Amino acid sequence: MTALTQTNPAGQLNRYPPGDLAIWIFILAELAVFAIFFATYAFTRMNNVELFNQFQQHLDRDAALINTLALITSSYFVVRAVAAIREGASQICVRWLLAALGMGVLFLAVKSAEYGHHFSAGINLSTNSFYMFYLSLTFFHFMHVIMGMVILAAVALKARRGGYSIEDHTGVETGASYWHMVDLVWLILFPLVYVMH
């Protein structure tokens, strides 16, 4: 595969897609899984519209909105982190990454509180097909957030040691690409599962 290359004013090589190509293969596979999952959700909902609408009302939309904002903000922070490392500013990059991680923690905390609420109400994967999809999709995504945070943390650690530079910061772009994917999936998941009637 040929990567398009161009030189920006700073004289640095910017590739498209950014980051390691391997992560893009992975991202595509992940998006494929989510796409199939969303499609089956839509298909099942079509056959059980009333059930889905009824139990959708029980979800905490405010919490989900907070989480949406948290993830969007975190994505912005990650963008700033990438911009910083493109200027060669490692420590600023680390700070933005930590901020993004903070937003990730917020997401996990809010989502955990939601789960706690569901579980104490005795809801589980076998309750009905709405909850099966809701719990499966959100939990699968929840695990991706954790995974993304592990990746961002690893990137931040390496950045703090000065492991990236203007010339070589593929790792930051790789981690950022993955994190944006996690965010993107939530941006589809949120309206689909929480909002859409």
Partner 1 sequence: MQYQSQAVAKPYFIAAIGLFVLQILFGLIMGLQYVVGDFLFPEIPFNVARMVHTNALIIWLLMGFMGAAYYLVPEESETELFSPRLALVTFWVFLAAAVLTVAGYLLVPYATLAELTGNHLLPTMGREFLEQPTITKIGIVVVALAFIFNVGMTVLKGRKTAINLVLLLGLVGLAVLFLFSFYNPTNLVLDKYYWWWVVHLWVEGVWELILGAILAFVLIKVTGVDREVIEKWLYIIIAMALISGIIGTGHHYFWIGVPEYWQWWGSIFSALEPLPFFMMTVFAFNMVNRRRRNHPNRAAVLWALGTAVMAFLGAGVWGFLHTLSPVNYYTHGTQITAAHGHMSFYGAYVMIVLTIISYAMPLLRGRKVAASNKSQVLEMWSFWLMTVAMVFITFFLTAAGILQVHMQRVMDKPLPFMYVQDQIALFYWLREGAGLVFLIGLIVYIASFFIGNNEPEAEVVPST
Partner 2 sequence: MNEVFTKSMARNIFYGGSLFFILLFLGLTFDTTRQLPKLDNRQAITDKVALGKALWEENNCIGCHTLLGEGAYFAPELGNIYKRFGNNKAAIKGFIMSRPKDGIPGRRSMPQFNFTDEELDAIAEFLKYSSEINTAGWPPNIQG
CB atoms under 10 Å from CB of 29, counted, come to 10
Q: Select the span of 4-12, 30-38, 94-102, 177-185 touching partner 1 (CB under 8 A).
A: 30-38
Q: Which two tokens stand for residue 178?
A: 């993955």
What is the sign of the dihedral through the CA atoms of 111, 117, 119 and 122? negative
Q: Does 55 bind partner 1 (CB under 8 A)?
A: no
H or E segment to which residue 173 belongs: helix 170-189
> Binding to partner 1 (CB under 8 A): which residues in 9-28?
22, 25-26
The minimum distance between CB 133 and partner 1, in angstroms, equals: 8
Residue 84: CA atoms inside 13 Å, Cβ hemisphere, count?
A: 22
Q: Which of partner 2, partner 1, none has residue 4 at its interface (CB below 5 to 8 Å by kind)?
A: none
Task: Rule CB under 8 A: choose which of 37, 55, 76, 115 binds partner 1.
Answer: 37
29 near partner 1, rule: CB under 8 A:
yes
Q: Which does 174 bind (CB under 5 to 8 A by kind): partner 2, partner 1, none?
A: partner 2
Contact between 1 and 8 (Cβ < 8 Å):
no
Does position 143 interact with partner 1 (CB under 8 A)? The reply is no
